[in-house]
A and B are shown apart, each in its own frame.
Chain A
Amino acid sequence: MVIVALLAFVLAALPSMLSTYWITVFTAVAIYAVVALGLNLLMGRVGLVSLGQIAVLALGAWVAAKLLFDTSLPFPVVILLSGLITMVLGTIVGLPALRLTGLYLALITLMMAGAITVVLAATDFPNGGPGFLAHSESSLGSGATIRRPAVAETDPAYFRYVVVTAALMFLVALWHVRSKAGRAWEAIRQSEPAALAAGVNITLYKLWAFALASFMTGVAGALLAGNVGQLFNYQFPTRDNIILLAVVLMGGIYSIWGALVAGLLFRYLPALLDTWGLPADLLTILFGVGVLQVLLTAPAGIVEQFPKDMARLGRLVARGAGRVVGGVRRA
């Protein structure tokens, strides 16, 4: 399969081809692809919109940083714990909100994101300090960094570690989609009353989707903590919640590979524009246009649209080439 070949290439060859800067960029791409995957599943499979996934990511990163500083648990355990704790929190949020219709659910996630952002602004992130909050103002300058897994301390090694973890998350997503949960989600997305009549436990499967998305985002948070070493609030700006929504829509919500495209849009494009000397704000505008375009014309997003467009381009080229060849032959 194309994906397996791509994965092999990325793991084996890519790190040696890139400078440290680009390795960090692609690590971020993999991390945010996982976050996008969570949102992709929520929106594409169940039809729920969350406007606060970046806030959940910040939460996951906080939990991971706290565990990494205050305990000596091995990194994989921390990843799992971050995922699970974030999942529990996400489920607690989701539980009372599930009876709300689509718009109100989205708005509650926005409110939740706002609340989390305010709390994190006040508590800041753990940086090796004392107490429950593990934050100390004075150690800001000491450069205490979040530790990485023992097997993956260097940037290229950590990149591979992140990609493997991300691949695992995609596998989990694939398995879910093909399982009973996936079928229940599809039924709910198409028509809640019909699914209810068919005996699908709507609340359970919606909760499951929320839990899964939160778990993945928590895992991504742990990976992010290891990637950046030091966490600050400015790394999780409010507008990123909306930009994430935009790139997930643009990548395509009806295929989980759209999340991969979303990750590239979210972290690769800005870095690319930066090397060309163009302002990242252009991308924000582009993403805004992208949202409108997707909602108006191409609900399936780039993942479905791109092959169609390429096929169309291919036909155009073939026709043009045919005309040229025919003309040459006649002459």
Chain B
Amino acid sequence: MPSWEEFRPFIVTGLALGGVYSLSGVGLVVLYRATGVLNLAFGAVGAMGALIAWELINNANWPDGLAYLVCVVFGGVVTLLYGLLFGPPLAGRDPLVKATATLGLALILLGAMSWIWSDKARSMILPTSNENFMVSDVLVNYTQVIGFAFGVVVTVVTAAFLRYTNLGTAMRALANDREITATLGVPVRRVEAAAWLGSGLLAGVAGLLLSNLVGLDANTLTFLVISSLAAALIARLQSLTVTLAAGIVVGLVNALITPILSISEYRDMTPFILAIIALLWLSRHREVRIGRAAG
């Protein structure tokens, strides 16, 4: 069994990654609550944004900050476009159909990324990754701090936004019942568009951070959404606070298993196992549902 010293650096990486999982989880949950769509292309959008930023920095000599902005904006724009084009026609369908449709988007993006950039190994170092400081013998770089901090900040800000602003309240109303909300005079499509845009921006941010914390690879980044999904699922796609907690736990446990050599190879199963346990535990009393499946 490894010693405390060997675990310490992994606490840092775990918290950082967990923060980004929470951030992505919040993006997924808010969109699901407002539109009923679980955006499985969340990771692919972030991955493509990161690759575009890489391209701009390395092949077009754009300044770093501008490229990062493009990444985030790309995430927002692509997701918004998808939501505007495919949101309304599918609005009345089962959540499963809506989620499957986002898989179509994921495939389009995956194919495009593979075609344009192929699968070469790349790296994109955020300037904050080069700055680091010591916390009792453990090296911490600022990207990791941002990862964790963003996770917490985004969750808190989003929760406050949903509770205290008009737009946020409208989103919560939409989550309850789209039809009734429409009859109350709420501009449903505009509120949904806002949810799509916000979720997309978060996807861009997550893509940028993950490209640093994990690596700039289209496939890896796309399917890392499954880990964020695990956090969102543990929260039953409802509570933002649970998403935050779940994301951090998933990230921490995943990282902390790394030095335990006997099971280290299997550590990437952590999000899946936790999500499966959570799903099965939470559905133990569930009966056959009548009508549209709620959150």
Contacts and interface: CB of A to CB of B under 8 A. Distances in A.
A2 interface: no
Interface in A42-59: 49
B89 A237 contact: no
A229 to B, nearest CB: 25
B286 interface: yes
A311 interface: no
Contacts of A115: 269, 272-273, 276
A106 interface: yes
User: 5 nearest interchain CB pairs?
Assistant: A284-B111, A288-B107, A291-B104, A288-B108, A285-B111
Interface in B94-128: 94-97, 99-101, 103-112, 114-115
Interface stretch (A25-33, A96-104, A171-179): A96-104
A106 B97 CA distance: 11
A49 B100 contact: yes
Interface string A77-109: 000000000000000000011011111101110
A239 interface: yes
Q: Which of B99, B100, B101 is the most central at the interface, judged by chain A CB atoms within 10 Å of its CB? A: B100
17 contacts: A100-B279, A102-B95, A103-B95, A104-B233, A114-B271, A115-B269, A115-B273, A122-B266, A193-B288, A239-B222, A242-B103, A246-B107, A281-B111, A281-B115, A288-B103, A291-B104, A295-B100
B293 A102 contact: yes
A106 B293 CA distance: 14
A102 B108 contact: no
A70 interface: no
A292 B111 contact: no
Interface stretch (B6-14, B223-231, B241-249): B223-231
Contacts of A97: 279-280
A193 B290 contact: yes
Contacts of A242: 103, 106-107
B97 A295 contact: yes
A112 B276 contact: yes
Q: Which of B97, B107, B269, B279 is the most central at the interface, judged by chain A CB atoms within 10 Å of its CB? A: B107
Given A96-B280, A106-B99, A291-B101, A285 B229 contact: no
A296 interface: yes
A207 B193 CA distance: 39
Q: SS class of chain A's interface: helix, strand, loop or mixed?
A: helix
B101 A295 contact: yes
Contacts of B103: 242, 245-246, 288, 291
Interface in B203-237: 219, 222-223, 226, 229-230, 233
Given A101-B289, A288-B106, A292-B86, 7 more contacts: A99-B284, A102-B94, A102-B95, A106-B99, A193-B288, A196-B288, A239-B222
A112 B226 CA distance: 11
Interface of B: 38, 86, 89-90, 93-97, 99-101, 103-112, 114-115, 219, 222-223, 226, 229-230, 233, 265-266, 268-269, 271-273, 275-276, 279-280, 283-284, 286-290, 293
Contacts of B288: 192-193, 196, 202
B104 A246 contact: yes
Nearest to B97: A295
A29 B292 CA distance: 37
Contacts of B273: 115
A2 to B, nearest CB: 31
Q: Which of A108, A192, A193, A202 is the most central at the interface, judged by chain B CB atoms within 10 Å of its CB? A: A108
Interface string A174-210: 0000000000000000001100100000100000000
B112 A281 contact: yes
A291 B290 contact: no
Contacts of A202: 288
A252 interface: no
Contact of A118 (B268, B279, B293): B268
A243 interface: yes
Contact of A101 (B86, B111, B268, B293): B293
Interface of A: 49, 96-97, 99-104, 106-108, 110-112, 114-115, 118-119, 121-122, 192-193, 196, 202, 237-239, 242-243, 245-246, 249, 279, 281-292, 295-296
A122 B265 contact: yes
A99 B115 CA distance: 40
B89 A296 contact: yes
Contacts of A102: 94-96, 293
B253 to A, nearest CB: 14
A198 to B, nearest CB: 13
A242 B111 CA distance: 12
A281 B119 CA distance: 11
Nearest to B285: A99
Nearest to A196: B288
Given A102-B94, A193-B290, A114 B226 contact: yes
A111 B219 contact: no
B279 A288 contact: no
B107 A287 contact: yes
B107 A284 contact: yes
B269 to A, nearest CB: 5
Nearest to A43: B100
A152 to B, nearest CB: 35
Given A49-B100, A110-B226, A296-B89, A284 B283 contact: no
Given A114-B272, A115-B273, A284-B114, A289 B108 contact: yes
Nearest to B108: A288
Contacts of B94: 102-103
Contacts of B230: 111
